[in-house]
Chain A
Amino acid sequence: MTTQGAVTDAFLFSMAANQCAVFGPNSPAVALDVIVERAREHTADGTAVALPIGDPTLDELGVEAALLAAGVTLLRPDDADWYSGLAVAGVGITSSIAAVAATGNVALGSGVGLPRATSLLPPAHVCVVRASQVYATFAEAISGLLHAGPLPSALTWIGGPSRTGDLEMRTTFGVHGPKVVDIVVLAD
């Protein structure tokens, strides 16, 4: 097993411990199938799939075409009703720009066509993570992101479904953010 393979396995383990559903590492074709299958499940009640525009990983996989072929309703950031639509969408799909095995979290960057709310408002979030972008430790990821170029205006780290410890210090899920987080790792 390669070192990167061990790091990826540790990452999947940490995310599962954080109550995410984890998939992979997968080939691009399998990853695409998983994404479509998850999207359909989260929108089985007829809600829409929120999909960013110009996300390099999602575009490379051909997520848009696959979702359209599967017959799901797409909501895009350039739609006039993006925000009202997002409030009732079933799932938001994003990719990550980094991930960490030790702490079990993924980093999302904002940008043109990549709104912050995609992974915030819908009750479910599907996040595609490239295995090559998984760091062993949080400190390594922080350094890696800093040296990869200018930081995005919003760099959001996500560990799993929204949670709180405010009720007698016992973990309760689904406070403000998504209640379900699916992690799809792409072998690359």
Chain B
Amino acid sequence: MSGKGLVTPGPTMKARSKVAVEDPQLQAALSNLDLRLFTAGVVQAEHPEWKDRVAEIRRETLADLDGWIDKLEAKLLSLGVVVHRAATPEEARAYILGLAQREGVRRVVKSKSMATEEIDLGSALEAVGIESIETDLGEYIVQLADERPSHMITPAIHKTLGQIADVLSKEAGTELPVVREPLTAWARDKLREKFVAADMGITGANFVAADTGTIVVVTNEGNGRFCTSLPRIHVAVVPVEKVVPRFEDLGVLLPTLVMSATGAKMSNYLSMVTGPRREGEIDGPEQLHVVLLDHNRRVLLGTPYEDMLGCIRCGACLNVCPVYRTVGGHAYDSSYSGPMGKILTPLVTGGEEGRDLPFASTLCGACTEACPAEIPLADLLVRLRADLRTPGPVVVPGAQKPAPPPALPVGPVGHSDEHPRKPGEGFATAVTRITVPTRRAPWSQRRMGFDAWSRLWAHPSAYRASLRVGRLGAKALRPRAGWVQRAPLLRAWTDTRDVLVPSGPTFRERWAARERGEERW
């Protein structure tokens, strides 16, 4: 996931954060996030019952994810949709590239999608000479600047209007005014040309209903409508957790998603696509392909990280996060940023990327409070910190089935590449639902220290004795205030802190004195 689009360079999140806080343009742009600071509370204030219902639906889905995926696939097939199960980003890319080349596709229009960012699809298409154009205005700006989106709802949030005008002017070959309306109008005309001449539309999906096979794409601009209406082929890249059991679940999921994301009551457009163009219709895609992407998600089922798959990608946790709000999305060097990105990145990359991200948190819990899916983000961060101390993937599948042969390319419309199949089969890393015990961190000095401390304070007399010793030690430091600041090995801690010297007898000592009648308060 690393590589292009690093506005904020550096080898670690810490290094990148340093660059970010010293970038005045970025800081000016990020101040616009204030407009979204309170949106996370709107659902809670206006419809407190929605959060519980959303969390309930997500838990119900994840409890039998493979079952819902099978149900969805069967429904999609009956509608004439081609379904491909991809275990890895490589497989998903290979399928889509193969399809595009077989169909002679020369131009692809993309609607904003986190999943296609995750599998870096745009670059893969360009690499084989297929023009791929992002059509969400923010994504288009980011693509022209050769960057990656820095916010899942507002991809160009890291840019000021002046910077955006520069990017668009460069593409236009003429100086465009630093005013929102003419900039938008220019992009409208430019992208309209692209839409009309595109052979393939690629979207993600905010949700896919298993009972009706309906793919839902949420936009405000209308680019999702173009991508799903005009090109003759529509490909939806759908991470497995996007499935929801029933079409009717959308009644609460969509208003909650939109309200948490922007504070609005509903997004301007919703495209609900149920199968390809039907007999007698003159527009809509002739072919509809759904690529179901696993990418280390299903191994999380049954583990404490399962909750993370309940994420509906509203971005509320980013908007309220003091770290995100200070450093912006590029400091995370991942498709997913903010609190959810810190958790999801090391999980979906199998522990290969973003291992330092969970440590860049104050654990203030603002994200947990904001999350409309009731995901315990702060708890998961703490757990990840412990689990990441062991090298390798965070969750190791306990029971792997042998991988079925990769099934490429696909058959004609209306057929999956491998059907019928047993539940969960089809992804190369098919796993049965297992419970992974939480691993203990390796034996270390630090852990020995905490273990000894915990044993010591478990005994009241030892606890009292340790306080007395500590107080004596601290008293010895009293004449040398500031001394600790020069402790060589503890610099990170002592740079901004000094030792606290106790002011007098402890509460226990004073209580004992009172009982003896020696002191009155």
Q: Which residues of A contact B (CB under 8 A)?
A: 14, 18, 77, 82, 87, 100, 102-105, 110-113, 115-117, 120, 137-143, 146, 151-170, 172-178
Contacts and interface: CB of A to CB of B under 8 A. Distances in A.
Given A151-B247, A162-B221, A168-B32, A111 B272 contact: no
B318 interface: no
24 contacts: A105-B270, A115-B282, A117-B229, A120-B226, A138-B251, A141-B251, A143-B251, A151-B274, A153-B273, A154-B274, A164-B220, A166-B155, A167-B180, A167-B184, A168-B161, A173-B181, A175-B184, A175-B188, A175-B222, A175-B223, A176-B188, A176-B192, A176-B223, A177-B225
A18 B212 CA distance: 30
B266 A117 contact: no
B220 A174 contact: no
Contact of A102 (B155, B221, B222, B265): B265
Contacts of A146: 212, 247-248
Interface in B204-229: 212, 214, 220-223, 225-226, 228-229
Interface stretch (B136-144, B235-243, B362-370): B136-144
A155 B276 CA distance: 12
Instruction: Report the 3 A-B pairs with minimum CB-CB distance, sorted nearest first.
Output: A177-B222, A139-B251, A166-B138
A103 B274 CA distance: 22
Given A104-B265, A169-B36, A175-B137, A116 B284 contact: yes
A139 B255 CA distance: 9
Contact of B247 (A111, A116, A142, A152): A142
Contacts of B226: 120, 176
Contacts of B136: 166
A153 B275 contact: yes
A103 B262 CA distance: 14
A165 B250 contact: no
Query: Which residue, B180, B222, B230, has most C-beta atoms of chain A within 10 A?
Result: B222
B266 A103 contact: yes
A142 B29 contact: no
A176 B281 contact: no
Nearest to A87: B196
A105 B250 CA distance: 15
A138 B255 contact: yes
B361 interface: no
B251 A160 contact: no
A101 B433 CA distance: 43
Nearest to B219: A176
Contacts of A152: 274
B222 A120 contact: yes
B220 A156 contact: no
Given A165-B154, A175-B220, 19 more contacts: A18-B268, A112-B278, A120-B225, A120-B229, A137-B251, A153-B277, A153-B281, A154-B271, A156-B269, A157-B269, A162-B220, A162-B222, A164-B137, A166-B154, A167-B161, A167-B180, A169-B157, A172-B184, A176-B222
B308 interface: no
Nearest to A179: B188
A168 B160 contact: yes
B371 to A, nearest CB: 21
Contact of B138 (A164, A173, A178): A164
Interface string B261-304: 01001111111111111111111100000000000000000000
Contacts of B141: 166
Interface string B129-161: 000000111100100000000000011110011
Nearest to A111: B281
Nearest to B135: A176
B272 to A, nearest CB: 4
A163 B221 contact: yes
Contacts of A169: 32-33, 35-36, 154, 157
Given A120-B229, A153-B274, A176-B188, A167 B183 contact: yes
B72 interface: no
B151 to A, nearest CB: 10
B187 interface: yes
B278 A163 contact: no
Contacts of A102: 265
